[in-house]
Amino acid sequence: MTHDHHTHDHDHPHDHHHDNELDPFAARVKALETILTEKGLIDPAAIDAIVETYEHKVGPRNGARVVAKAWTDPEFAEWLARDATAAIASLGYTGRQGEHMQAVFNTPDTHNLIVCTLCSCYPWTVLGVPPVWYKAPPYRSQAVINPRGVLAEFGLKLPEDTRIRVWDSTAELRYMVVPMRPVETDGLSEDELARLVTRDSMIGTGLPLRPGSLSPDALWPPQDVSGAAT
């Protein structure tokens, strides 16, 4: 597996954009918040509470718990397949951008991939707010026409005869992928299993980590590991 883009990121032509440019836009947002606060239309403390929610409380660890439970509890897995909104709510994950959920299960024959070509629809209740690449034109444009090429960018090469099912989130249903349980995980607890479930494996751009194979490859993408604390 090659991950040249890890170390050669600076070689990418920067004709795409990231959200990390600290620019005059910071002043523009500040001005807008000031106007709205002065007019009594927003309360800055409410803004703080929203940010706190999505920075520290709602994130991919929610989804990982859903997946780990589905791996260990066949009844829950069946419920999740039949009525994902209710099954996920039973773990306490409800609300904005997760009002109408469907879980889609990877099988040996079919790999699922989630995208929103029209905007940035994403299952916030289980995965938090979407990463920059999910909202940006390269992913949104290519996921439906060249999903294998997209997966290769994530270091994921599927057999050619593996069917790829792309779910374009064009309405108000929000999808999460339930990846297949990795091999050699028989003795693991639900908590231990949840630590193997990466964010990308629930979008479909990755696979779960494998226990005991903590090579740099296995840790890709590393942000999922660091996110485990939340």
Alpha helix ranges (H) inside 53-119: 60-72, 74-82, 84-89
Residue 17 in contact with other proteins, rule: CB under 8 A: yes
- Which residues, 139 to 198, sit near other proteins by CB under 8 A? 139-148, 150, 153-154, 160-173
Is 90 catalytic? The answer is no
- Which residues, 75 to 94, sit near other proteins by CB under 8 A? 94
User: In terms of Cα–Cα distance, which of 104, 150, 140, 147 is closest to 120?
Assistant: 140
Q: Which amino acid is located at 197 in the chain?
A: V
Residue 223 in contact with other proteins, rule: CB under 8 A: yes
Spacing of C-alpha 210 from chain mean position: 18
Give min distance, CB of 3 to other proteins, in A. 10
Is 213 catalytic? The answer is no
The two beta strands, 101-105 and 163-168, are unpaired
Q: Cα–Cα distance between 39 and 21 in angstroms, integer?
A: 29
DSSP string, 180-193: PPPSS-TT--HHHH
Which position among 76, 83, 90, 117 is part of the footprint of other proteins (CB under 8 A)? 117
User: Pick the catalytic residue: 90, 120, 141, 201?
Assistant: 120
Is 116 catalytic? The answer is yes
Give min distance, CB of 111 to other proteins, in A. 10
Nearer to other proteins, 159 or 187 (CB): 159
Exposed/middle/buried for 70, CB within 10 Å: 0-12, 13-18, 19+? buried
Residue 13 in contact with other proteins, rule: CB under 8 A: yes
Is 201 catalytic? The answer is no
Give min distance, CB of 113 to other proteins, in A. 9
- Token digits for 196? 């193997």
Nearer to other proteins, 21 or 186 (CB): 21
Positions marked active-site: 116, 119-121
